[in-house]
């Protein structure tokens, strides 16, 4: 299936990220990337585990850099050696998973601490 995927140039990938509302993601050296800041080591590890589960479920694996208070995600389709729709779909799912918070008025109140930050 990966052979049928369109390979995006870096310029096309930037436009696609903007179109999809993935403004915190950026293109660099043939990858789409995103940095998630956390409130510390424990939350960093929880984030890495959640991302790892998502990647395994989708059978599309990200490259991760992990340090205290930060996870850097890098996506490209390894079999294509390029950015493809698989990467954009995985980025969208990562955003939805990592940054999900309950809406006001729901039974779940949400974590009162900073947890994972939506900043670069």
What pLDDT score does 3 carry? 58
pLDDT value, residue 1? 47
DSSP per-residue letters across 57-74: HHT-PPEEEEETTEEEEE
pLDDT tens across the length of the chain (120 residues):
445 799 999 999 999 999 999 999 999 999 999 999 999 999 999 999 999 999 999 999 999 999 999 999 999 999 999 999 999 999 999 999 999 888 888 899 888 877 787 765
CB atoms within 10 A of CB 85: 13
pLDDT of residue 120: 57
0.85 exceeded by pTM:
yes
Which parts of the chain are beta strand (E)?
A: 26-28, 31-38, 63-67, 70-75, 116-117
Domains with residue ranges and CATH for the chain: 26-100 (3.30.1360.20)
Helices vs. strands in the chain: H and E counts, helices first:
3, 5
Residue 119 confidence (pLDDT): 66
How far apart CA 58 and CA 68 sit, in angstroms, is 26
Q: Side-chain half-sphere of 86: how many Cα atoms within 13 Å?
A: 27
Torsion of CA 12, 76, 74, 31, to 10 degrees: -40
């Amino acid at each position: 299936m990966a052979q049928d995927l369109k390979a995006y140039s870096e310029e096309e990938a930037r436009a696609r990220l903007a179109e999809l509302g993935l403004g915190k993601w950026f293109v660099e050296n043939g990858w789409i990337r995103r940095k998630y800041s956390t409130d510390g080591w424990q939350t960093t590890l929880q984030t890495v585990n959640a991302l790892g589960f998502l990647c395994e479920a989708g059978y599309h694996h990200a490259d991760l850099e992990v340090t205290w208070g930060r996870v850097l995600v890098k996506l490209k389709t390894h079999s294509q050696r390029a950015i493809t729709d698989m990467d954009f779909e995985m980025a969208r799912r990562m955003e939805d998973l990592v940054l999900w918070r309950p809406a006001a008025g729901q039974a779940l109140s949400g974590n009162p601490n900073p947890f994972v930050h939506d900043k670069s």
